[in-house]
Structure 1
Amino acid sequence: MCVACYVDEAMKDKIIAYNAEFHKVTTSPFGKDDEIGMLNLINADSRKAILARADPSRVFDLSVDHFIGMPGWFGAGDQPYQIWMTHTPAGEIVGDSMGKGIEANTLVAYSGDGISMYTHCGTHIDTFNHFGYDGKIFNNFSAKDHLGSRHWTVAGPEKHPPVFARGVMLDVAALHGVDVLPPSHAIGEDDLKGCLSRQNVRLHPGDVVLIRTGQMRIWPDMAFVANTPGLNRNGAEFLAKHGAIMIGADNLTVEQTPTPDPVNFFPVHTYLLAEAGIPLIEMVDLEELAGEGVDEFLFFGACIKLRGATGAPMRPVAMPLTP
């Protein structure tokens, strides 16, 4: 079944993937200042429509906990998640950091803490400044003109709106009758079409599409980070040309690792972010949705507004849709 069979011809001008050229950043159809790509399809009408269909009596939390020793992306030497106490009740009695005295510190049990982590830790989004081609990112912003000493001046998480949209989970593990897909299984168009047929769902422009590989059955074992089953470029193009506004998965990287591509070590990241204008969501916990057989839902997610960062934590939730 061809992509055109699903997508209204009038929508194609708004689907950035139709303007993409291989290994080139795409100019946004939403204007030279656009920093959010396909998220532009979210508007008052789309939010109102999906909220009207949501069943708030059931809420599914799609995020993972952050904790010391959690699996994460360590392939480029980035720091793991750390948390430490900056104040403890007993410590304040001894240290009196605010100069309040022993009586006050004995009465008031004060605790505080700090964290350190890579911005791509736990359930999080990837923004357009995370990957590009030849020093440029989506919509022709360049590292030369838009990257300072500390962060990018464009395309950071602070530009992302809260996402209220129809969500669709495609359960590729269930399609193959397994709890977890084999290591490095490549999810392409055929797998995705098989899920749509098996689950009797259709994709529409404006959807958030989440892919279940079953990897959360492994979490939090460190085996989670190695040889992930995930999307290949063929599968990513299929979803992008259906008008997905965000694409996520229950694995470390959304895409298959390692990639068979001899040069581009993250072909799905570069395609979706730089060519198709679609942000990613990684490490989404889909086990409860799968267990309840919920394929379509209201997706809500808002990322932390870390100005200019390449990623940010998100705590997405899902609510089933009423008949």
Structure 2
Amino acid sequence: MCSECFVTAAMKSRIAAHGAAFRKATASPFGSDDEVGMLNLMDAASRQAIMDRADPTKVYDLSVDNFVGMPGWFGAEDQPYQIWMTHTPEGEKIDDIMRVGKEANDLVSYSGDSISMYTHTGTHIDALNHFGYDGKIFNGFSAKEHLGSRAWRKSGADKHPPVVARGIMLDVAALLGVDVLPPSYGIGEADLRGCLKHQDVELRPGDVVLIRTGRMRLWPDRDAYLPNPPGLNREGAEFLAKAGAIIIGADNHCLEQAPSADPENWQVVHTYLLAEAGVPILEIANLEDLADDKVYEFAFFGACIRFRGATGSPMRPIAMPLR
């Protein structure tokens, strides 16, 4: 069934993409205080409906490990993932940082560590304050009024509720008969419609939509995984957003086709989804196990770390097939 068949006139009024203006930060249909956009489509009834169908005998982990040297977004010279020990069993015997004495340090082996990372590292969510237009983000919040010296006061990752929703995976690589889509391939509406038909899956308002390009087969080789990724183009993003997707994600590191096909906008899909359509983004999702088992519809569960005001945050999403 076509995706439009599920979008009633009443539902359209709750889908931000139907009220969007080109390259403008859209006012939320959920009120002037809204900071989470299309995640508002989740409610008790929708959560209960998908939980009732989830099969707990099989769990798919859609995240990647975080480790030193992992692929990441380096285009703007942001901090790569780093981890270092702050306490080691032998080091505590020498330094006695806790001032407990030799015998206590011989008995108690204490290990501790710290990490440093760009908030858009590994499997992660892009919050609605990540990209906007002309200094404004979704629902008209502005950098001038709502961005402090340390973080945004609006629409940060800390505002995201835990996500419990129906998920679908659109395997574009399999549709086109390749292991990995060609570099810079733009995934448009025809590809997405083709996947829905080929997989016999319906796209409904309230869905988490994950797109498989096959790039995860190149993980974690930086030189193969990062450059010129295939991904969603604006046409494809509009198709999914207008159908009522609450999160759109992919297995590449930037969701969208790169380099951008729009000579004026180097992040055409990010700005559209986040600022115009109010749809958070999920990146670097590991969809290979779902693809291997041909699981195209599932219960999606995920919660990001509540970094106050952050533009992104790690997430460990899981999927369960449906009964």
Q: TM-score range by the shorter chain?
A: over 0.9
Is the Cα contact below 8 Å between 2:3 and 2:202 reproduced in 1?
no
**Inter-partner Cα distance in structure 2 for 1:91 and 1:305:** 32
**Inter-partner Cα distance in structure 1 for 2:208 and 2:5:** 19
Q: What do residues 232-290 of structure 1 show as CA deviations (whole Å, max 9, x unaligned)?
A: 00000000011000000000100001012111100000000000000000000000000
SS at match of 1:128: coil
Alpha-carbon offset, residue 2 of structure 1? 7.2
Alpha-carbon offset, residue 3 of structure 1? 5.7
Alpha-carbon offset, residue 225 of structure 1? 1.1
What's the TM-score, normalizing by structure 1? 0.98
Q: Partner residue of 1:195? A: 195
Is the Cα contact below 8 Å between 1:3 and 1:241 reproduced in 2?
no
Q: Partner residue of 2:231? A: 230
1:299 aligned to 2:315? no
1:24 aligned to 2:24? yes
SS at match of 1:272: helix
**Inter-partner Cα distance in structure 1 for 2:230 and 2:23:** 23
**Inter-partner Cα distance in structure 1 for 2:60 and 2:113:** 28
After superposition, where does 1:185-264 map in structure 2 within 5 Å?
185-222=185-222, 223-264=224-265
Q: What do residues 159-197 of structure 1 show as CA deviations (whole Å, max 9, x unaligned)?
A: 111000000000000001011000000000000000001
1:166 aligned to 2:166? yes
Write the letter of the residue equivalent to 1:55: D
Ranges in structure 1 where 5+ consecutive residues have no aligned partner: none
Write the letter of the residue equivalent to 2:22: F
Q: What do residues 55-112 of structure 1 show as CA deviations (whole Å, max 9, x unaligned)?
A: 0110000000000000000000001000000000000000100111111101100000
Q: Partner residue of 2:130? A: 130
**Inter-partner Cα distance in structure 1 for 2:52 and 2:206:** 16
- Give me the CA root mean square deviation: 0.9
Q: Partner residue of 2:84? A: 84
Q: Partner residue of 1:308? A: 309
Is the Cα contact below 8 Å between 1:60 and 1:319 reproduced in 2?
yes
Ranges in structure 2 where 5+ consecutive residues have no aligned partner: none
**Inter-partner Cα distance in structure 1 for 2:234 and 2:203:** 18
Q: Partner residue of 2:284? A: 283
Instruction: Go from structure 1 to structure 2 and tell me whether the alpha carbon gap of 1:207 and 1:2 turns closer, same or farther (over 3 Å shift).
Output: closer
Is the Cα contact below 8 Å between 2:12 and 2:18 reproduced in 1?
yes
Q: Partner residue of 1:144? A: 144
Displaced runs of 4 or more, over 3 A: 1-6
Aligned residues: 322
Alpha-carbon offset, residue 9 of structure 1? 2.1
What's the TM-score, normalizing by structure 2? 0.98
SS at match of 1:184: coil
**Inter-partner Cα distance in structure 2 for 1:232 and 1:268:** 6
